Amino acid sequence: MHAPKALPSIWVTGLSRLMADEMQCAWSVWFRTYFRYEKLNTNFDSAKWSASHRTLVNERVNMLEAEGYTVYVEGENRFEVLGREYLVKVAGKPDIIALKDGHAWVEDCKTGQRKNSDLYQMLIYLLLLPVSLAPCQGLSLQGRLIYRDEVVEIRATQVNQDFRAQFRAAIAILSSTTPPRKVPSFQECRFCDISAQYCLERVDHENPHTSSEHGLF
């Protein structure tokens, strides 16, 4: 069964995917914002991901501490920000915050391929951490995305007016009591943990369209 949350809330990861247009069904993010529910078991191998992610995080922590940084890891970095105009709580937990000589780096470790949502996730961190997490307040905060084969730096100047407007537009969608329309498809639904019990339009089987021959190719 599902139950309404005491206060609408969304994790940065879901918000970043919506902002990056990596998912067409905004309803699924809206539903997660408003409700607690029994999640569907997908094919995602969480144990394998956790092991790879933990290894990458530990490697970065060891390197940063060897360079003299004060390092905060995962649970130490959890934050929540409640909007004033839009009553939605945004929560997150960046992998690493590293402090040295009045500067702060926020890092997120990625074990998969580069995605646009990775950038949006980091930009949200750079927007919200200075006003929500004590170690970052009053410091020059920059970001780094850590992949297996490269490190991508994200500057605070990239949190510009266009990004802020896009962030507010996404929050406005999620804060509305009127749900956005569903856009079900097999390609998207197969990775979604919201079962048909809550979404009657869920598509669990691929149904390719066929047509008769017309000599077009």
Output the CA–CA distances (angstroms, integers) from residue 21 to 14, 114, 177, in the order listed: 11, 15, 21
Which of 28, 5, 19, 43 shows the shortest CA–CA distance to 170? 19
Residue 42 has pLDDT above 80, yes or no: no
Taking only the tens place, the pLDDT of each residue in 16-35 is: 999 999 988 999 999 999 99
Question: At 82, which amino acid appears?
Answer: L
Tokens representing residue 14 in the block: 């879901």
| Domain range annotation of the chain | 3-189
Question: At 37, which amino acid appears?
Answer: Y
Residue 209 has pLDDT above 70, yes or no: no
The phi and psi torsions of 62 (rounded to 5 degrees) equal -65, -40
Tokens representing residue 147 in the block: 């992949």
Predicted TM-score (pTM) of the model is: 0.90
Taking only the tens place, the pLDDT of each residue in 45-66 is: 778 888 999 999 999 999 999 9
Output the CA–CA distances (angstroms, integers) from residue 5 to 21, 33, 34, 41, 182, in the order listed: 25, 8, 6, 21, 21
Tokens representing residue 170 in the block: 């996404």
Fold of 3-189: Lambda Exonuclease; Chain A (3.90.320)
Dist. CA 52–CA 14, nearest whole Å: 21
pLDDT of residue 212: 54
